[in-house]
Structure 1
């Protein structure tokens, strides 16, 4: 195996039944283990592996797997509890893009996903080495291995040669392969969470005898909440606590718990976790805070070594309100009400606020997890649990960090098709962030990156817990609006004006009613009513009249939702009318109806209807408008089919990688590419550039200008030296140069002013008039490549008219990027000049996205300006910065 193969990190991942396994490259010292794997195989399995039941073949295979390193060879092994359970290897012979693979799984461990998981990791390793195809020989009777290859999700071809089958597997990372990996990961993840969220036995380790301890509070919650499984305490100084049997240690318990809650001092956490692992505990909930780095590492090592899933540390706890379980392992003041909302938070305080709010609204909670410092179980895990639990209809998240945003995004895109996923967008700012020098890095704020993730995944992002609950109340109780058109009905003109302002500010539309609707409403409303939008039904409106008015508007096809703003009046009191009942007396309506009650004490309530449903009522029109806008955005996202990443022609990834490797070989610390290398890289992706020439002397500049002059004879000269980014700010650009004399004068000026810095100049023809745009990429360490687009030119940072999406871009993402900035109307011909080449602009962004996705070493790319005209799109100036980074497969199945 190669030195690079040996340097691959040890990772942990889940088998189909939720078992944790360690996957790592084999070492020479593993030979006896590898040989033992083969020698313990039955004669039949040995024959299927080697085509003959030969012990000699086993020895040769062990020698090959653990022998001296050689190019193009990689062997991975899977272990659990220190036992080797599977082996997979490929060998390309040191050259070419195809490699032969083989696989072996220990007897008794077939059909648990060992082989599939190893092959997935082998595929990732092979891709990183430029291998594009696997080949494998198998006996035609070896149905298990043939089925394994067929079910990978990769394109597989078979050729039968007598009793053998030759399989050829293409290693393209298609969406079908990623979906297959996702589905296997989801099933394994859900299986691994069973002992955590559906434990049959729970032990609270560190439950104190005296009131005031966290462990005792959790024990009380479990007992008072009616937990239906077996419950134990672990305390060496007590035989019983709160009536719950107590034992001196985890190993002394009469049965092994599925879940152990650790509420012990930080110093005791690692040893306690190790004891739990040795006893066979399958999941840990660690509420302890204040772990140091060594204690944290030891805790995670114990969990991985013994296959325990972990929530925490430093967390509030978890709960599952399923009446068959009634698990409340938190130290919150009350018990969450059973319901349909799944909740995952990193902040215990936010968790308490959401639990209280959901319980008060009557939505209730299906399951809850306070993730705390999030060493293991994450929001991604909980999304997959809620997707499968049969109880959750609404997912609420509060995540301050993301371990693998791209994997989270794929999961969320799938889950949001089935249920609303809402989040509090926490950590939107980064006060300590220092904007990098390039336009791209300066524009790529934390808010923009997170916003791109949420938008592309279809997640409803709110700015506060209150706004989250407002949106959740509407999505729980009402159908989604088909669009942004809202009709406002009120019994007080001032309230209607406030509601109209709120809707407009939220991006909703208030269409004027048709004459037919006006006549229809005037026929049922009291005299003096004004039928516009808002509809002022006056203080004299009765309950019956208001009901008829709302029903007619709901049936009207020109609006998508109805907002009813009500204020209490003496008229209604005198007549005994209950205007709110006008909204709740009806059954389920086909469009969302929301109420605004300015006198309401709580920010949002759910009012029960006679039909068994609920209507959301808000204390402020802004809250109602925000909730309706969130619902309209979700409806629009659901109505649009999932985007696809288009195939692009003219891409030379191998040559691009060679350009990158050559540069980094000469510059191990990375840096900004000079114009020639930058242009060569862009050319690998077919990114259109304005013609240019490089010149290092005055005479070379003149010759370049003569060659590049357009019909008007004018050229541009740009100085260059390593590290120069903003040429205009440095006054290193000369425009509108005519004739050789001006070209020579411009060169001498740059040479004089930047003596000792200038390494050469770029000469270009003067570009035609058009719209100056900006496009760029920044490679975020956590989120991956982020593509930015917006108005360009020298004021791009001042105007800050940018939109962003995470790569790889789909066709929908590109459309959104182009239409999102405020300058978008210019691109569509708003000033009468006709639209720019929109198809060319889309191609440019897709190619930029592809370049960023292919090359993890691409730290930044800055195209400014990009000139867009009706006749085409071209990059006038490009800057690219490379860093020595290794490719990380964001979709590879592995635990944090």
Structure 2
């Protein structure tokens, strides 16, 4: 985790209360003293092992000395009142700190101490502290439980009535899982006033029809919202049949949810009034807020602990029977159902609501996130995960405020329900401005779809494709593989459907002879059954029903796609054939899809005599793409979740010192010199070929004599700040075999590059092997990526690379190795030396750890990385830093 806590942060307690976490200092002495003075004698004794007022005064004085190298204190406050304090003081050894906690009476069992410890541990790690120690009375079960439940390694040593605890601060998967669980509980509770409010008020509903506020007020009433609805208007006595009050403070009861639909300039003042009146959540549909108004709005929400949806949004809804909340300014009420929907675009939201309603899927809850000042897609995923109703999540997100946290949440949620999104912004235009180096050049060749797939998210290209896929996932079981049987009553339509399946990446296998014979026994004369299965225009309802049932129950295929067209030859009508698909009382074990080119709607869900429905599409390509997405989900679910490997041998503290020193010398950042690059890679045990730095010709000769292998050959590479492509500029010499050649090579570089040349790197000539590329780049949307693929001089020309979002799990690293087209070379293709895959996976994990440890690391190129049976080694490396202080993406904090 990175970043000392400098600026205040707001975070949620376990009961959904928002508190402010900030550094404590000299101005807090009296508040700290008051915190202790108001404690019960028992709590004071547990804190100081006595009830002496002197201990409290001493503790307050310690805080009043302020931040210093060996000491830090964090305060938790609610509405300006100090409710918790956490401190550490580094012990003489230098890497261990003694920690102390205090929570105000009345604030116990709400997660104050745990939240403070998470933030304090984050600051301590950055300061080089590796462990906390604390002494507690053995009867102080509450504080002992706080340490135990953190998710960190805790050891206890009993000494009479006292317990000495040591908490190792090294974070791992267990700790992140524990933080996730605590954050999920707090987040869901804080969302209750938004999605299950006990009362709602609309502020800004006009007296005349047509205003946004009035439309929402009308929908709240006509949607039969279960709680009381109020309106606020300075002059009107009633609006749309709802009694109006002059202000929020005048309401007969506090409203959990306030819908704000006033002009932008008035939004901050109204938000402040709501906070003072006890409102717990805001839905701001107003648009056009400037920077000052936006800041004032979010400050009011944080100050009073209100969750916020918007501004500039369509609204929100919850269709639960005991809630029936419709606060959307849309023409129709959302149909109740089981799909959770969150969008940033109002237009996309309306399209999804109408599409899901028309299909009969409906929504469990809908939130238009708008400008997304607070509530995000991450919040909604956690709500749907726990609401007991949602079985499918649909997202349209134009931005990701915390991509790594979102990816972690999505991976977990996608295990229990499909998570679908529209892959918007796929064009390269949105990725202009990357630096000219391999990793940045490789990234545009990576699609966001691959990154979504890493988290198990089904990413479609259009809204229509999203709804197509949702229909299939809602109606039918997942396919177990990619094999599809295509059935049609017209040969031409069957061929087109088979083509659509193949183009979508599905298989249309030839059926075995015994299965073909069984099918032909069921079908009319003239039918063919090798796949596609042509049942002919003469097929009857019972024959088609038997054919589809046999295929869906047989193990030869994983799905059945049935294309039906009206013909003049059949005695059975087109509707009779559709009935053949829907008359099974039980759900077939494999998915069945229909394609009906003449149906009016692009997609329909056909009801069966049982509880299932069958998706029917007007175009075979739509059906095939939906089925391909379903098979991709099956493949992702079949992979057991894998952890991010622990790496106890990395030197994170040393690496951070190196980065800090570099940015002290060059505050604007830039590419590191060879010595610093090598030192940083050494902190992460990344293998490098031996090398030496030479400032002149004589030093180069000495270095060559020391580094030359048995054959006596070395390589010389020029260096100056900003040199990126040595081969293009002919800034290197290979296969130098004696001192005279070394001298000649050095003179050539000096003559061509003159004063630009600051030195040369001398290396032994490497053994033969496969040249690969591994690197890091920070994507503007997704954050740090690890990139892998073909290396050498042609790496950018061939663009054979894959990428995954850091941190990498074990499966992510495996996927990176096998995704590029060059991957067969790693296994000894065409006589090439097989690579040590274990060493390559370790390299990728170490790059992943480096980029998650160091937010200032903007880019890293390891090219080439030589791989063979002897292992791997980096022949050339470049690293670029930028001045950036990134918050730990997993630290609990509101935006």
Shorter-normalised TM range: over 0.9
CA displacement at 1:743 relative to structure 2: 2.9
Show structure 2 runs of 5+ residues with no match: none
The equivalent of 1:280 in structure 2 is 278
Q: Does 1:511 align with 2:525?
A: no
Structure 2 CA distance for aligned equivalents of residues 620 and 211 of structure 1: 42
CA distance in 2, matches of 1:430, 1:215: 39
Q: C-alpha separation between the residues in 2 aligned to 1:334 and 1:102? A: 56
Question: Which residue of structure 1 lines up, in the alignment, with residue 874 of structure 2?
Answer: 875
Q: Mind listing any 5+ residue stretches in structure 1 that lack a counterpart? A: none
Cα displacement string for residues 525-561 of structure 1 (whole angstroms, at most 9, x for unaligned residues): 2222222222222222222222211122122213211
Shift of 1:33: 1.0
Change (3 A) 1:21 1:840: same
Q: Tell me by how many angstroms 1:404 deviates.
A: 1.0
CA contact (8 A) 2:553 2:588 kept: no
Q: Deviations over 1:88-141 (max 9, x none)?
A: 111114751111111111111111111111111111111111111111111111
**Deviations 1:448-503 (CA, angstroms, capped at 9, x unpaired):** 47445422211111111111111111111111111222221122222222222222
1:94-493 equivalent positions in 2, closer than 5 A? 96-429=94-427, 431=429, 433-445=432-444, 448=446, 450-493=448-491
1:842-866 residue CA offsets vs partner (Å, 9 max, x unmatched) = 1221222222222222221101122
1:435-834 → structure 2 map (5 Å cutoff): 435-445=434-444, 448=446, 450-572=448-570, 578-586=576-584, 587-648=586-647, 650-780=649-779, 783-833=782-832
SS at match of 1:104: strand
Cα deviation per residue 1:712-748 (whole Å; 9 max; x = unaligned)? 5543322111110011121212234444443333222
Deviation at 1:575, TM superposition (A): 6.3
Deviation at 1:267, TM superposition (A): 0.6
Q: Deviations over 1:379-420 (max 9, x none)?
A: 111111111111111100111111111111121111111111
Distance 1:430 1:746, change over 3 A: same
Name the CA distance, whole Å, in 2 between partners of 1:654 and 1:28.
29
SS in 2 for 1:272: helix
Give me the whole-angstrom Cα distance separating, in 1, the residues matched to 2:25 and 2:419. 45
Q: Is the 8 A contact 1:256 1:279 kept in 2?
A: yes
Please give the alpha-carbon distance, in whole angstroms, between the structure 2 residues aligned to 1:166 and 1:690. 47
CA contact (8 A) 2:25 2:67 kept: no
Corresponding position of 2:843: 844
Secondary structure at the aligned position of 2:838 is classed as: helix
- Residues 173 and 644 in structure 2, CA contact (< 8 A), matched pair in contact too: no
Whole-Å Cα distance in 1 between the matches of residues 221 and 404 of structure 2? 40
Counterpart CA distance in 1 for 2:705 and 2:75 is 63
Q: Say if 2:483 and 2:559, in contact at 8 Å, map to a contact too.
A: yes
Cα displacement (A) at 1:574: 5.4
> CA–CA distance in 2 between the matches of 1:190 and 1:411?
13
Q: Tell me, what secondary structure is at the counterpart of 1:319? A: strand
Mark the CA change 1:70 to 1:710 in structure 2 (over 3 Å): closer, same or farther: closer
- Give, in angstroms, the shift of residue 834 of structure 1: 5.4
Distance 1:60 1:613 in 2: 70
> Which SS does the other structure have where 1:328 is aligned?
strand
Cα distance, 1:649 vs structure 2 = 6.4
Q: In the aligned structure 1, how far is the partner of 2:357 from the partner of 2:426?
A: 28
Contact preservation (8 Å) 2:478, 2:591: yes
Correspondence for 1:47 among 39, 45, 48: 45
Output the CA distance in 1 between the equivalents of 2:104 and 2:200: 33
Matched residues in 1 for 2:647 and 2:131: separation?
A: 21
**Secondary structure of the residue that 1:531 maps to in structure 2?**
coil
- Confirm or deny: 8 A CA contact 1:128 1:887 kept in the other structure: no
Q: What is the CA–CA distance in structure 2 between the aligned matches of 1:291 and 1:668, rounded to whole Å?
A: 34
Asked if the contact 2:25–2:66 (Cα under 8 Å) also holds between the matched residues in 1, the reply is no
| C-alpha separation in 1, matches of 2:723 and 2:225 | 66
TM-score by length of 1: 0.96
Cα distance in 2 for residues equivalent to 1:390 and 1:175: 27
Structure 2 CA distance for aligned equivalents of residues 35 and 576 of structure 1 = 83
Deviates more, 1:469-478 or 1:153-162: 153-162
Aligned to 2:722, the other structure's residue is in SS state: coil
Q: CA deviation at 1:169?
A: 1.1
Instruction: Note if contact 1:779-1:856 (Cα within 8 Å) is conserved in structure 2.
Output: no
Shift of 1:32: 1.0
Q: C-alpha displacement at 1:807, in angstroms?
A: 1.4
Distance between the aligned counterparts of 2:504 and 2:762, measured in 1? 48
CA contact (8 A) 2:13 2:112 kept: yes
Aligned-pair distance for 1:677?
2.0
- Which of the pair has the greater relative contact order for Cα pairs under 8 Å at 6+ separation? 2
Q: Distance in 2 between matches of 1:766 and 1:641?
A: 42
Partner of 1:28: 26
Residues 539 and 572 of structure 2 are in contact (CA less than 8 Å); yes or no, is this contact kept in structure 1?
A: no
Tell me by how many angstroms 1:711 deviates. 4.9
Question: What displacement does 1:612 show?
Answer: 2.0
Could you tell me how far apart the structure 2 residues matched to 1:491 and 1:741 are? 81
C-alpha change, 1:154 and 1:523, in structure 2 (3 Å) is same
When structure 1 is superposed on structure 2, of 833-842 and 194-203 the one drifting more is 833-842
Contact 2:695 2:759 in 1 (8 A): yes
Distance in 2 between residues matched to 1:80 and 1:800, nearest whole Å: 53
In 2: Cα distance, 1:575 partner to 1:470 partner: 26
Structure 2 CA distance for partners of 1:666 and 1:93, relative to 1, 3 Å: same
> 2 CA distance for matches of 1:475 and 1:294?
44
SS in 2 for 1:579: helix
Are the equivalent residues in 1 in contact too, given 2:540–2:572 (CA < 8 A)? no
DSSP-derived class of the 2:756 partner: coil
**Residue deviations 1:328-357 (CA, integer Å, cap 9, x gap):** 001011111000000000000000000000
SS, match of residue 717 in structure 1? strand
Q: CA deviation at 1:804?
A: 0.6
RMSD after superposition: 1.9
| Count of matched residue pairs | 891
Shift of 1:218: 0.7
Q: Deviations over 1:190-220 (max 9, x none)?
A: 1111111011111100111111111111111
Q: 3-state SS of the aligned residue for 2:704?
A: helix
Q: Determine the C-alpha separation between the residues in 2 that align with 1:796 and 1:687.
A: 21
Counterparts of 1:527 and 1:691, CA distance in 2: 76
Instruction: Tell me, in whole angstroms, the C-alpha distance in 2 between the residues paired with 1:51 and 1:738.
Output: 75
Shifted more, 806-815 versus 759-768: the winner is: 759-768
- Structure 1 residues 69, 868: closer, same or farther in 2, change over 3 A? closer
Q: Is the 1:452–1:806 Cα contact (8 Å) retained in structure 2? A: no
